[in-house]
Amino acid sequence: MKILIVDDSSTMRRIIGNVVMQLGFKKEEFDEAEDGVKAWKLLGESQYDVILTDWNMPNMNGLELVQKTRSEGGHMKTPIIMITTEGGKGEVITALKAGVNNYIVKPFNAEILKEKLDGVLKK
């Protein structure tokens, strides 16, 4: 199992990583990127089972990353969960239309992330 965590906040990447480890994953099973550009580079180098991405990031935001991932490259079918402070109905609809499999609004807890991960990984 390999997970890509994308967030411009190193603190949030650490929090998400800690939650992922609480869920039984090992540190070696996930990579981190601080923006969509770095994430896209990693996606070109490795195969991932799930992508956890923020929306608001510099260089390439999460929505742009989702759109790029869904339209080109080898990860068109990889489950994507957006973890963001953007909790409005319009944002959720936009993200889902772009190809996000699930959506988590910050702040969140380990149970919510586990539920969403289980949901996309059992498909």
In this prediction the pTM is: 0.93
- Domain containing residue 112: CATH number: 3.40.50.2300
What digits encode the pLDDT tens for the residues 10-28?
999 999 999 889 888 888 8
Domain that holds residue 92: 1-120
What digits encode the pLDDT tens for the residues 38-81?
999 999 999 999 999 999 999 999 999 999 999 988 899 999 99
Distances from the Cα of 76 to the Cα of 19, 45, 51, 118, angstroms: 25, 15, 11, 19
> Does 122 score more than 80 pLDDT?
no
Tally of domains within the chain: 1
Tokens of 84: 């963001």
């910050």: which residue's tokens?
106
Q: What pLDDT was estimated at residue 55?
A: 94
- Please give the single-letter amino acid code of residue 98: A
